Each structure stands twice: as structure tokens, then as C-alpha cells.
Structure 1
């Protein structure tokens, strides 16, 4: 066996042993969680929704883990994966720095406020509203197949920028407070208001989504809701999935994003619908 392979094998074994000693989980559970984090990063880099994979995996794999710790640990992985996807997209499809800063900073602040709100408000009150909105979005995409295909490249006026600011601040708050489908909402907002193709909107959205993740992560971190020993390897796995997903999107383009968006809508409707009925 090559020397490098032996070194990496020892590191993996050491990681498993350290987690077992800390009582985090058995080797099979950790392996499954790393796999879930990789798949979550892959899905998240395409259209978002990685939390729908990793958060349930954390709660099922580690039943004693508090929900707040599952959310914080997931956010740690999501920040790293989304940041890598944002860098990958921006290299190919750059967005003006002034737009990124003017919208990214409010996204961080409002996401932090949303995360703080989770400590005081029951997130269940949002579920029927979000469920209704997602169904409407799904029907819109089905009956408007041309939406998001073309990039008209209109200059963003001050009025558009103000509207972006309001909507992205609201989505940032939603991401910190509730979360599912944030990436999709960002892509739709940027496509609808800015007349951008799904591909260009995705590049922009990943930067904003990174900002919303950072805002929420900060709140989870200061409240001690992150299991760092597990969060760091999950973040690495998430980045691996994100790398694969973002490069696949750049190769396949808008059609892949649209298909992924419809699948995510279907999954969200089923998940939120079951929760609303008290089944899941």
C-alpha cells in the first residue's frame, strides 16, 4: 500500500476512534452521516435543500442530539459547501461585487435575526404558509416552461435593487428561522425580478445563500449549538458533494436546475404536508 494511502487510512481510523470515545456514534453511523453530508452538498449546490437530507440524518443517527445542535451542525456543513459552490459558479458566471455586498450584508443580518427568532417563536406557524407558496411555485414552473431559460441581461435599476433588498432580507430571515428551500426561493426571486436565467441566478444565489448561512451559523455558534468534532468532517464531506454538483450544473445548464427545482418542490410539499397532518 502506498505511503499516502496508509496515512489517510490511519487518519480515518483515528477519526472514528475519537468520535467513538466521545460517544458521538458508532463507525457505521458516522459513515452514513458523512455519506448524507456528501449527498446534501451535491443537492444543495444544484438548487438547495441539502438540509432536508442532513438534518433528518443527524436526528435519526444520533437520537440524543438536541434539535438545535442538529441545526447548528448542519449549518456548519452547509456554509462550507455553499461557499465552495459560490466560488465555483462565480469563477464562470461572475456577479458585480457591489451587488453582492449590497445584498449579502442584509442577508447575513436578517438570517441572524431569523435564527434568534427560533428561540422565541414556534416555527410550525410558518409551515402552512410555506406549503401554500411552494405549491403555487410548482404550478407556475409547470405551466411556464420558458421561465428561467433566457437571460435578458437588463441593467438592475435602483427600484429593482430595492425590491431585491426587501425580498432577500425576507428570505434571509426565513433561512435562519425555518430554512427548507431557501436556495430555490433565491433563484426564483433573482430570475423573476432580474430577468436572469436560472444558471446566472444560481451563481448569484449561492453567494447570498452563503451569507444567510453565515448569519444563522453565528447565532448557533454563540449559543453552543454546534457539535464541532462532527461538524468539521461533515463540512469536508459536504464540500466534496458541492464540488461535484456545481460542476455538473455548469456542464448541464438551466435544464438541470429546472428539473432539480421541480423535484425539490415535490419533496418539500410531501414533507411539509405530512408534518402539517402530524404524520411526520
Structure 2
């Protein structure tokens, strides 16, 4: 019973954080691994995806009701992410992601420093691309992050938010909204693979999904209420936590 309470709390907090800037896996995945140590990792990751996709989907719907989504960016990015996440998942079965594991903390440090230095980054929503240029960049970003999500994964939501702000000229709030749509595509592709291969704990995943949705709805409402400045602060907090976590995993765990 205690294990289920821990997983429920973790799912709620993960949904809340993930709805704003991504990074919910920092909470949800360690909770699953610590409370269910006898279950194989693939099944725990699949169960986390089962819970997470509902929360991410709820956040995407909540954002879409209040913010105008640029589907000319979101749709091609999501489609590319869906396809390439399969390729990433396949690749990780052939090539260990050790190089990415050690490189990731440094990439995140660069993202944090850039965001801190550019005080006005993401404060104004002024999309700078249209037409085929917009679609091509959306496919490139969606496909690249989709592949990364399938291949390794940590920080996917935060990378999407940063890239939509930096490359497309979105504010943090609009970037968070579009990133949720792309995240749903990534999670769906992974979930189909885990489901096909039988790596799902349905009862645990559904229980966590309910709490994940509850946290997600609160998180997206907080973002909508407090705007891009709030999202920027949470973004920097989550990126800082990711730097510590990925650095520890890459260099201190033997």
C-alpha cells in the first residue's frame, strides 16, 4: 500500500512539472525503480510512458483551449517525432548511449547559461518562420528530439521548449504548449513499442495516469495563469535539476 502511495504522489508531481516545461521523468521514473526493484527496466519505462502520455495529452488539450497553436509548426514536428522515436528506440538496442550520457550535462549547462544571459529570451511571442522554412525546421527539430527521446530521453520536454523559443521566436508559454503536442507523439510511439513487446504494468500505469492527469491539469493552469515569466523560472529550475541528475548518472555511478 505504501508503494502505491509513493507512486501516486510521484505521478502527480511529475504531471505538474511536466505540464509546464517537461522533466517529469526526473520524479516518476526513479519512483518506479525504487518501489518496484524486481521488475525489469523496460517494463518500468513502459509503465511510465503509459502514465505520462495521459498527463501530457491533458496538458496539450488544456493549452490548446487557451492558446492559439501554430499547427504549421506543431503538426510536422509531431509527425517527425513519432517516426524518429521508433528509430531511436531501435538504435539504442544496437548502440549503447554512453557518449550521449556523458555529453548531456554539458549541453544542459550551455542551455541554462544561454537562457540566463538572454534575459528577454521567450518573453515575447513573435514567430519568425513561415512556409516551407517553418515546416522544414519543425521536421528537423521534431525528428531530432524524437530520435533522442527514443534513444536516451532525459530532458526531452525541456529541449523542445528551448528550441521552440530559440529557433521559432515563441514565448515560453507558447513553446510549452507546442512541446506538449510533440511530446505526445514521442510518448505514443514509445508506448506502442512497449505495449507490443509486453513491457507494461497496466494496473500500476492506469493508477499513475489518473494522478498524472490531475497534476498536469494543475500545472498547465498555473502556466496559463502566470505566463511566460513563470514558465521561464520553472524551465531554469528543471534544467538545473537535470544537470545535477544527468551529471551524477554519467560520472559518479559506477
180, 186, 195: which is aligned to 1:212? 186
34, 39, 46: which is aligned to 1:65? 39
2:89–2:151 contact (8 Å) kept in structure 1: yes
C-alpha deviation, 1:53, in angstroms: 0.6
Which residue of structure 2 lines up, in the alignment, with residue 156 of structure 1?
130
Which residue of structure 1 lines up, in the alignment, with residue 62 of structure 2?
88
Give unpaired runs (5+ residues) of structure 1: 1-26
Partner Cα separation in structure 2 for residue 172 and residue 253 of structure 1: 27
2:58–2:216 contact (8 Å) kept in structure 1: yes
- Give the greater-gyration-radius structure (CA): 1
Which residue of structure 2 lines up, in the alignment, with residue 102 of structure 1?
76
C-alpha deviation, 1:119, in angstroms: 2.4
C-alpha deviation, 1:199, in angstroms: 0.8
Structure 1, residues 233-279: CA drift from partner, whole Å, max 9, x if none? 11111001001000010001111111111111111111111122233
Deviates more, 1:117-126 or 1:188-197: 117-126
With normalisation by structure 1, the TM-score equals 0.87
Which residue of structure 2 lines up, in the alignment, with residue 112 of structure 1?
86
Which residue of structure 1 lines up, in the alignment, with residue 173 of structure 2?
199
Q: Secondary structure at the match of 1:253?
A: helix
Which residue of structure 1 lines up, in the alignment, with residue 209 of structure 2?
235
161, 182, 192: which is aligned to 2:156? 182
**Paired residues, number:** 254
Give unpaired runs (5+ residues) of structure 2: none
